[in-house]
Amino acid sequence: MKRDTMPEKIIIDTDPGQDDAVAILLALATGNRLQLQGITAVAGNVPVAQTSANVLRICELARRGDMAVYSGAPAPLVFSLETAEFVCGIDGLAGSGLPPPKGRVAAQHAVDYLISHLLASDEHSVTLCPLGPLTNIALALRLRPDIASRVKRIVLMGGAMNLGNITPAAEFNFYVDPHAAAIVCTSDIPLVMLGLHLTHQAIATHAQVAEFETMGTATGRAVHGMLTRLRPGGLGTAGHPMHDACVIAFLLWPELFTGRDCFVDIDISDGPVRGRSTIDWNGRLNKPANALVPNTVDATTLFDRMIAEFATLP
């Protein structure tokens, strides 16, 4: 998996979330290799008003208050919203110590922004990077299917090859809005799916986490606080898997990942396997692959490179 030499144009769709924050900051730190066009917020870890505010807080931390931020869907396509304050705190960014945002989101709705931006873009020119439930992107694809040809690929964090993290069967993002995940997985857009089986390998060591604090920067202190917080409900350790950061890391350093093309199916039923991603790793279903599914990552090198990038942020 080799990286193109030209900067990749990306849009991040997100529901911050501590690991979403790390992913956004990593993208902002590597602007010479990634051209971040805008950031759209969706309901997920916390309601959409808070995720939108969190994107602004993160951008302002990196002194990128100029970044266009759009607020999107307040609820999944079919099911009622279920959030994860028990993991990420009441404001979604527990441990960060960030103040309320000074700026405001753009007037345009996130789904309208996705449609208008993509329609104005060249064919296969923009990579979508969903870090939360896929509601915004699914709505955009349903409203204007013709935007699909403008998308180069979708690189997302979601799903799991084995056990889930919100139920035994499902990963949180796919569980929250399985119908949206199913729409994206059947869109015929090239898809990279970074699931729990992969992101649970991306756990920073205690020494690596400590390096964020020793940077002596506001960003370093905020990231260190988020990675070392005690999670509500007794779920915390000193750090946790950097699920969403793997999306940006995959764009920057694809050589650190290995995987294979697979057929992926999403369960949309309202039952115990809601949101489950069935990944046909061995091709038993004889169906065409619809996703590249990485299953290993060189986590040590990933975090060493990430720390070096974060040292460039204020």
User: Which of 201, 225, 226 is CA-nearest to residue 18?
Assistant: 226
| H/E run at residue 194 | strand 191-194
Task: For residue 243, indicate whether it is catalytic.
Answer: yes
DSSP per residue, 62-102: TT-TTS-EEE--SS-SSSPP---HHHH-TTS-TT--PPPPS
Q: Where are the alpha helices (DSSP H) in the chain?
A: 18-29, 48-61, 85-88, 110-119, 135-143, 172-176, 178-185, 196-199, 206-214, 218-228, 245-252, 299-310
User: Which of 219, 215, 211, 238 is CA-nearest to residue 227?
Assistant: 238
Pairing of strands 8-14, 34-41: parallel
* Cα of 53 vs its chain's centroid, Å: 17
Two tokens at 165? Answer: 């993290």
CB 41 within 8 A of CB 52: yes
The count of C-alpha atoms lying within 13 angstroms of the C-alpha of 126, restricted to the half-sphere facing its C-beta, is 25
Number of H helices, E strands in the chain: 12, 9
Catalytic-labelled residue, pool 197, 200, 224, 243: 243
Residue type, 178: P
Q: Please give the C-alpha separations between residue 175 and each of 80, 85, 268, 276, 313, in angstroms, as whole numbers.
A: 11, 16, 9, 7, 34
User: Which of 157, 182, 185 is CA-nearest to residue 268?
Assistant: 182
Two tokens at 63? Answer: 């002194």
Q: Would you please indicate which residues are annotated as catalytic (active-site) residues?
A: 243
